[in-house]
Amino acid sequence: MTTSSTLRPGVVDPGPPAPRPPRRRGDGAAALAFLTPSIITFLVFVLAPTVGVLVLSFYNWNLLSDGTFVGLDNFDRLFHDGRLLGVYGSTTYMALAILAVNVVAGLLLAVLLETRMPRWLRGFFRLSFLFPFVVSASAVALIWRFLLNKDLGLVNYLLGLIGIDRIDWLGSSAFAPVSVIIVNSWKTIGFSILVYIAGLQSIPNELREASIVDGANAWTRFWRITFPLLSPTIFFLVVINTINSFQIFAEPRVLTQGGPGDSSRTIVEYLYDRAFGDFDLGYASAIGITFALVLIVLTAIQFWFSRRWTFYS
Amino acid sequence: MNIPNRKVALACATAALAVTALAGCSSSDDADTSSAAKTLEIVYWNYGPAAESGNKATADAFMAAHSDVKVSLTPVTGENWGTYYANVATLIASGKHPDLMVISGEGAQFVHANNLVQPINAYVEKDPEAKTLVADIAKGLIDGFTVKGDIVTLTYGWNDMVVYYNTDVFKKAGLEPPSADWTWDDFKATAKKLTADTNGDGKPDQYGFTWASNEIFPGIMPWVANAGGNLTSDDVCTATADTPQVNKAVTFLKDLITEGIAPAPMPMSDVFTRFQNGQVAMFGAGRWPIATFLPAGFKAFDIQLYPKGDTYKTVFGGAGYPILKSSGNPDLAWEYQKFTVSDEIEKQYVGTPDKPGDSIPSRRSVAETISKVGVPPANSDLFYHSIDKYPTLVPYPAPAKYSTFESTVLRHLQQIFASETSVSDGLKNMQGELSGIVTC
């Protein structure tokens, strides 16, 4: 047990914890009243739709006529859907790439932004990276679609100036998913940078200063001090970006309409088309339920692995 | 209880806010049904300001003429007609019971197949005013909205697919405007002359022609029709996507890209911009682009029929307000539908040179006033002549699952135009998939 006698000089003894104030009658009612909006919102907009989707997955329903109970038929169809596996593949490819860009490039950029530079320049860079994040995804994608046009877009024009031939960014199976990755990463990396900067600023300067005194170089300081203390932030961003990147919709919808073929189609786009293109709400619900389970399992795996590398000081 | 008043007030206010917010999400059906006899609920596709102002103007005019009727408009969003229908279906599933909904020709099969619509055959036969109106509407427009003998609705406005050309680009290239009897070969030769490398980097940056990659009607359908084909059988029960005629049309378009006369296909909104700035000399659409071009001050364009292939057929689509079976007052709804093709409303679709309508009035007598009023383009009379003088593509290749049908066609075309599959293999795959979608 730590006592005041063992404290280093300059460290103030916080003393024993203050006694918790007695709970007053009526506090529960007030707390409930404050919580009511959140509870109602959760029930109406989260729990009820979730239960609704679960129930719908056992029905055939086209929005306009009475539903028919079909048991597990919709889930059985998942195994016979010739396109679903391919769409899972394209979704995974794009999601992992977006995740990597956000977590790795986001960290590098955040570290660069924390280096010594004029305050106005730092503000300019921070604003530049964060701005796309607060703009509508559809609006961003519309502008990028214009820029990435193979024959009339600005990107290929600029590449042409350095001798690179025109790339079919939106029309080829190889580059369409790459375009989605670029546009989505460009839009979302500002959030990752913001969180990283907050994490970096919470690392005590004394540790860095002490390591400099001990002769540690920048690389050692990053791996021995910055990275371990930043690991909870990295873990948070891995989880959040995994969930978000698997759920992208607007960018492929606007940029490539999921094509060519299904090369840039995501699961969310696919289930949307089944629900509101085919009016096959039951099957779309089954896709949604299984997709949610996949994300839950992925997140659980991430939490399990995080115990090995996440350091909470 | 010993709770500070401020705390209680704050908690109550928070709860009240939540209740108010949720109440705002609830349906207003109860309020509507109490006076259903004199209320009309209308759902329309809110594709932009023109849709909102047009529907409001019609509703206001109807209420001015029928002071005891209240018309309630419900705008529904959607990226195209297909998603609009999906959103309306969601609205109906949530308990809304509209009297009328705006549909396009593609939606006629959808509302009919889903037993949503009340056919108007009996009204047309018995109402003397209807007979006069119908006589002034091109037969193709009536046929386009007739499913299995049932007339789904009268059409208030429509669009036929024509070729827009940039007159400045034509002048600069030293070309005469195209004539109505031009052929595919003439078209290709013209488009080739209009393709140019204007910045001297060795690659074209001005193209002769392009088409919308996100819609089939202003995209491939005029070419398919003029090759003598269609994407479905006449009864819209079987897909016919891998016929020699469809192959010929798609191969023609693919060659335009391969030969560098057309850029990689792009969505319609991008085409508008490229056309106005001269990067694309020609494209295909209905009358709706003028509602974008003229307010923006762009007038250097005119229109011509699509070039003739093995045949010539006018490809068109219209819109109307069918009476839904959920209507509590179908007779009043019929009066509204009839009102939408009255002189007063039809003139709105003519518009003025500064504020043009975005579709062609369905009444011939009104449509013929477009050129007299001076609404560009100069060749505006062509719009109605195309449906009066030439055979039309009837039926629309618009099965009940139109949204899925269109997205499937477009998905395979993307691969063909990106040279990721041959035309014949692409169409074969398309046909295979469509056979499960186009059914009766």
- Mean pLDDT, residues B380-400: 86
- Mean pLDDT, residues B127-146: 91
Angle at B133 (CA atoms; ends B130, B136), nearest 5 degrees: 150
Same domain, B169 and B286: yes
Same domain, B134 and B113: yes
Mutate to test the interface with B, among A36, A63, A274 (most CBs of B within 10 A): A63
Rounded Cα gap, residues A273 and A257, in angstroms:
11
Asked if B201's CB is within 8 angstroms of A259's CB, the reply is no
Same domain, B284 and B418: yes
Same domain, B49 and B87: yes
Structural tokens at position B181: 């009897």
Residues 6+ apart with CB under 8 A from B259: B192
Rounded Cα gap, residues B152 and B402, in angstroms:
17
Rounded Cα gap, residues B269 and A4, in angstroms:
72
Structural tokens at position A198: 């907050």
Query: Going from the N-terminus, what domains does chain A have, and what CATH number goes with each?
Result: 83-309 (1.10.3720.10)
Mutate to test the interface with A, among B279, B414, B415, B435 (most CBs of A within 10 A): B414
Q: What is the pLDDT of residue B173?
A: 96
Q: Which of B352, B372, B392 is the last residue of a domain?
A: B372
Q: What is the pLDDT of residue B71?
A: 96
Taking only the tens place, the pLDDT of each residue in B216-234 is 989 999 999 999 999 999 8
Same domain, B121 and B98: yes
Rounded Cα gap, residues A141 and B267, in angstroms:
13
The total of other beta-carbon atoms located within 10 Å of residue A18's CB is 7
Query: In B173-318, where does DSSP find H-type helix?
Result: 184-194, 221-226, 244-258, 268-276, 290-293
Q: What is the pLDDT of residue B89?
A: 82
Residue B19 lies in a domain: no
Asked if A279's CB is within 8 angstroms of B89's CB, the reply is yes
pLDDT at residue B33 greater than cutoff 50: no
pLDDT at residue B302 greater than cutoff 60: yes
Mutate to test the interface with B, among A276, A278, A280, A281 (most CBs of B within 10 A): A276
Among B14, B204, B417, whose Cβ lies nearest the Cβ of A37? Answer: B14
Among B12, B93, B263, whose Cβ lies nearest the Cβ of A64? Answer: B93
Q: Could you tell me what percent of chain B has a pLDDT over 90?
A: 64
Roughly how many angstroms between the first and final C-alpha of chain B, as a whole number? Answer: 70
Q: Is residue A169 a contact partner of residue A176, using CB atoms and an 8 Å limit?
A: yes
The reply to whether omega before B397 is within 30° of 0 (cis) is no
> Could you write out the DSSP letters of every residue in A70-123?
-TTHHHHHHTT-TTHHHHHHHHHHHHHHHHHIIIIIHHHHHHHHTSS--HHHHH
As a whole number of Å, the CA-based R_g of chain B is 24
ipTM of the complex: 0.71
Rounded Cα gap, residues A251 and A228, in angstroms:
34
> Could you write out the DSSP letters of every residue in A117-173?
--HHHHHHHHHHHHHHHHS-HHHHHHHHHHHT-TTT-HHHHHHHHTTPPP--TTTST
Structural tokens at position B53: 């102002």
> In this structure, what CATH number is given to the domain that contains residue B360?
3.40.190.10
Rounded Cα gap, residues A273 and B87, in angstroms:
12
Q: Is residue B318 a contact partner of residue B155, using CB atoms and an 8 Å limit?
A: yes
3-state DSSP percent of chain B in helix, strand and coil, to 5: 45, 15, 40
Cα A274 to its chain centre, rounded Å, is 24
Q: Following CA atoms B161, B166, B171, B172 in sequence, which dihedral angle do they give, to the nearest 10 degrees?
A: -130
pLDDT at residue B266 greater than cutoff 60: yes
Taking only the tens place, the pLDDT of each residue in B347-380 is 989 988 888 988 999 999 999 999 899 999 999 9
The CA-atom distances, in angstroms, between B99 and each of A101, B59, B89, B144, B344 are: 51, 13, 14, 22, 22
* Chain A residues within 8 A of B269 when measuring between CB atoms: 142
Structural tokens at position B429: 């795959």
Asked if A260's CB is within 8 angstroms of B89's CB, the reply is no
Minimal Cα–Cα distance from B400 to chain A, Å?
Answer: 10
Secondary structure E strands in B225-365? 282-285, 301-304, 316-320, 323-324, 360-361
pTM above 0.90, yes or no: no
Chain A residue with CA closest to B413: the answer is A260
- Mean pLDDT, residues B375-389: 92
Q: What is the pLDDT of residue A5?
A: 40
Structural tokens at position B37: 């006899």
Mean pLDDT per 10-residue section of chain A, whose length is 313 residues: 42 60 74 93 94 95 86 96 94 97 95 88 90 90 92 92 91 94 95 94 87 86 88 94 94 90 94 89 96 95 86 70
Rounded Cα gap, residues A27 and A175, in angstroms:
59
- Mean pLDDT, residues B23-33: 41
For residues B81 and A22, the model is more confident at B81
CB half-sphere exposure, B375, CA atoms < 13 A: 30
> Could you write out the DSSP letters of every residue in A235-253?
HHHHHHHHHHHHT--HHHH
Task: Supply φ then ψ for residue B76, to 5 degrees.
Answer: -125, 130
Same domain, B242 and B357: no
- Mean pLDDT, residues B58-71: 94
Amino acid at A192: S
Same domain, B271 and B339: no
Q: What is the pLDDT of residue B158?
A: 94
Asked if A278's CB is within 8 angstroms of B401's CB, the reply is yes
Residue B271 lies in a domain: yes
Same domain, B276 and B332: no
Same domain, B64 and B104: yes
Among A151, A168, A277, whose Cβ lies nearest the Cβ of B407? Answer: A277
Structural tokens at position A110: 């955040």
Report the range of poorest mean pLDDT among A80-94, B40-54, B329-343: B40-54
pLDDT at residue B285 greater than cutoff 50: yes
Residue B392 lies in a domain: no
Rounded Cα gap, residues A167 and A182, in angstroms:
14
Q: How many domains does chain B have?
A: 2
> Could you write out the DSSP letters of every residue in A259-301?
-STTTT--HHHHHHHHHHTS--HHHHHHHHHHHHHHHHHHHHH
Q: What is the pLDDT of residue B37?
A: 53
- Number of A–B residue contacts, CB under 8 Å: 130
* Chain B residues within 8 A of A170 when measuring between CB atoms: 264
Structural tokens at position B330: 């179908």
Angle at B259 (CA atoms; ends B258, B261), nearest 5 degrees: 110
**Residues belonging to chain A:** 313
Residue B146 lies in a domain: yes
Same domain, B169 and B57: no
The CA-atom distances, in angstroms, between B56 and each of A241, A277, B53, B169, B347 are: 44, 28, 5, 38, 15
Rounded Cα gap, residues B404 and A204, in angstroms:
57
For residues A131 and B22, the model is more confident at A131
Same domain, B105 and B119: yes
Structural tokens at position B308: 């003739």
Q: What is the pLDDT of residue A306?
A: 85
Q: In what order do the strands lie in the sheet with B360-361?
A: B103-104, B316-320, B155-160, B360-361
pLDDT at residue B2 greater than cutoff 70: no
Among A145, A166, A279, whose Cβ lies nearest the Cβ of B270? Answer: A145
Any chain B CB within 8 A of the CB of A77? no
Q: Which residues of A206-238 are buried (b: 16+ CB within 10 A; e: fewer)?
A: eeeeebeeeebeeeebeeebbeebbbbbbbebb
Among B15, B265, B270, whose Cβ lies nearest the Cβ of A146? Answer: B270
Structural tokens at position B168: 């400045």
Structural tokens at position A139: 């609006």
Q: What is the pLDDT of residue A309?
A: 80
Chain A residue with CA closest to B272: the answer is A146
Residue B6 lies in a domain: no
Please give the mean pLDDT across all residues of chain B. Answer: 88
Q: Following CA atoms B61, B64, B69, B72 in sequence, which dihedral angle do they give, to the nearest 10 degrees?
A: 40
Taking only the tens place, the pLDDT of each residue in B152-173 is 999 999 999 999 999 999 999 9
Chain B residue with CA closest to A30: the answer is B11
Structural tokens at position B236: 């819209």
- H/E segment holding residue B40: strand B39-45
Q: Following CA atoms B141, B142, B147, B152 in sequence, which dihedral angle do they give, to the nearest 10 degrees?
A: 100
- Mean pLDDT, residues B207-215: 93
The CA-atom distances, in angstroms, between A74 and each of A49, A57, A156, A269 are: 18, 6, 44, 18
Task: Supply φ then ψ for residue B325, to 5 degrees.
Answer: -65, -20
Q: Is residue B285 a contact partner of residue B161, using CB atoms and an 8 Å limit?
A: yes
Q: Beta partners for B43?
A: B74, B101
Same domain, B173 and B151: no
> Which domain does B211 fall in, by range?
162-313+401-434
